[in-house]
Structure 1
Amino acid sequence: MMKQACLPALAGLLMAWAAQAAPFVWPQGQQAAVSLGYDDGLHSQLDHVVAALNQRGLRASFYVPINAPTLPGRMNEWKAAAAAGHELGNHSLFHACSARGAGREWVAPHRDLDQLLPAQLQEQVIAANTWLQALDGRTRRTFTPPCLDLKASGQNYVEALKPHFVAFRTAPAALVTDTATLDPYAVPVYFVDGLSGAQLIALVEQAASAHALVALIFHGVGAEHLSVTREAHDALLDHLSRHKTRFWTDSFVNIMELARQQAGR
């Protein structure tokens, strides 16, 4: 009797697990969702990337800190990018990062996360949302912590920001393969600086094989820091454009709203 009584409960658990681990269903049956993210609000992104995306009918996310070098003189171009369907993502007010470790000599003392309180960063990130809303009129967006650093003065500062965002890009490189592996506030990202066109295409093809979500972080394109060449970047865009029946390339906020709906989160 006990064995028979346990069977329905076991079946229920298996059904719940199967539902939780369901594969994603992308809008037109595509094999993968591709999020192209461009950090730091750089000139090369306005000089080349926005037009390259628009020409191919692709949408992306631009994470623009409010102290970005392009905002004072090229604000209207960012407004136009948003009007074309691209997301202006939150990348904080002042791009504060931890100064610890090799290669962080560029971090100014007054923007060192190890010298700032979590409340200071939280206030700045929320203020950045208001600035971005003034540019694009939108209230829903995503957040990428600068340098993917999550702590200020040794304490996590991003956790309290969840109610203000659809999703965060914060986790080490990986594919999100099904609804069970989705954490909207720890979406993994690939830093792609220095990769060739063939390597970039291989990444999205890997995602297609796994029916996964893949998020890429670009910075400079053909110029500036952490760059890829224009040729490599455009080879990826050409591949995504030629295979729109296989790849859904959209803003991170649009992808994550659908992914969260399917995951029930």
Structure 2
Amino acid sequence: MNTKIHCIILFLFFGYSVHAQDTLWHHKKCAVVLTYDDALDVDIDNAAPALDSLGLKATFYLSNYTGTLDTRTAQWRAIAAKGHELGNHTYYHPCIGKRPGREFVKADNDLNNYTVQQIDQEIHMMNSLLKAIDGKHSRTFAYPCGDTKISDSFYLDPIKKEFTGARGVRPEMLRIQDVKLYDIGCYGINGESGDQLVSLVQKAMDSHTLVVFLFHGVGGGHSLNVSLQAHSQLLHFLKQHEKEIWIAPMTEVAEYIQRYQSSSK
């Protein structure tokens, strides 16, 4: 083959591949999902206002063991009305107890003491409560503590069609074709600097992948915490690069991934 023609073919092939990867995420280089767990007061007081000031949308995974669904229902309804997702994190936040760092797990909320039917009923109950708050049908789930099983059974399996996807806690960045919709990985944040948070996004941009952030405390409110300054630096970076980065709630991203993966089969 003529060398010049061979080079043109290689350029067209690899150039197309790079361009295709650049546009897979809603015609942008990568996708970023910001998630906030446990329905904390700081979600309402710190995180949501910071997001709204920049027009960014996120997912708040709500449980009621903190009590804010009872005491601050109107604020959660307002957060949903501004385009944020209220995700299901169960009502009582059950986790597997008797593990290091799990001293907070009481016997009544120990997943070892649940049946699959019990946890699924609790998840149903939480869906009903969330719908009463935001009026929406589409939402995602987040496994409390990242625990996905009761004994050897994946407890979400019987009802997973009620959700567009589910977030786990495994740190990973995957291309759109490789994302596991009912165990979406994420990066749990605890004490990282703004530069470290931004570097995760830059890595996703370079690799054309999905990066999910898991926040608990934002400027306090939880033992797992990120400073207001670091959180703000991340949000401002996302805003400055939103032409290259798709930032959306988890349910929108999960629906997009599902459509892409279905069309690629």
Tell me the TM-score normalized by structure 2.
0.88
Residue deviations 1:190-239 (CA, integer Å, cap 9, x gap): 10111110110000110010111111100010112211001110100010
- The number of equivalent residue pairs is 243
Give percent identity, aligned residues only: 36
Aligned to 1:185: 182
Distance 1:219 1:171 in 2: 13
Choose the corresponding residue for 1:132, options 124, 130, 133: 130
Distance 1:104 1:132 in 2: 27
Secondary structure in structure 2 of the residue aligned to 1:48: helix
The answer on whether the counterparts of 1:118 and 1:153 sit within 8 Å (CA) in structure 2 is no
Aligned to 1:111: 109
Aligned to 1:203: 200
Off by >2 Å, runs of 4+ in structure 1? 66-69, 152-156
Aligned to 1:30: 28
Of residues 148-157 and 87-96 in structure 1, the stretch that sits farther from structure 2 once superposed is 148-157
Q: CA RMSD in A?
A: 1.6
Secondary structure in structure 1 of the residue aligned to 2:213: strand
Q: What's the CA shift for 1:182?
A: 2.0
The answer on whether the counterparts of 2:139 and 2:251 sit within 8 Å (CA) in structure 1 is yes
The answer on whether the counterparts of 2:169 and 2:187 sit within 8 Å (CA) in structure 1 is no
| Structure 1, gaps ≥5 residues long | 1-21
| Structure 2, gaps ≥5 residues long | 1-19
Tell me the TM-score normalized by structure 1.
0.88
Aligned to 1:3: none
The answer on whether the counterparts of 2:168 and 2:186 sit within 8 Å (CA) in structure 1 is yes
Secondary structure in structure 2 of the residue aligned to 1:129: helix
Q: What is the correspondence of 1:10-29 to structure 2 with a 5 Å cutoff?
A: 23=21, 25-27=24-26, 29=27
Q: What's the CA shift for 1:152?
A: 2.4
Aligned to 2:15: none
Distance 1:195 1:85 in 2: 27
Q: Given the alignment of the two structures, is residue 142 of structure 1 paired with residue 152 of structure 2, yes or no?
A: no
The one-letter amino acid paired with 1:107 is V
The answer on whether the counterparts of 2:38 and 2:64 sit within 8 Å (CA) in structure 1 is no
Aligned to 1:16: none
The answer on whether the counterparts of 2:37 and 2:214 sit within 8 Å (CA) in structure 1 is yes
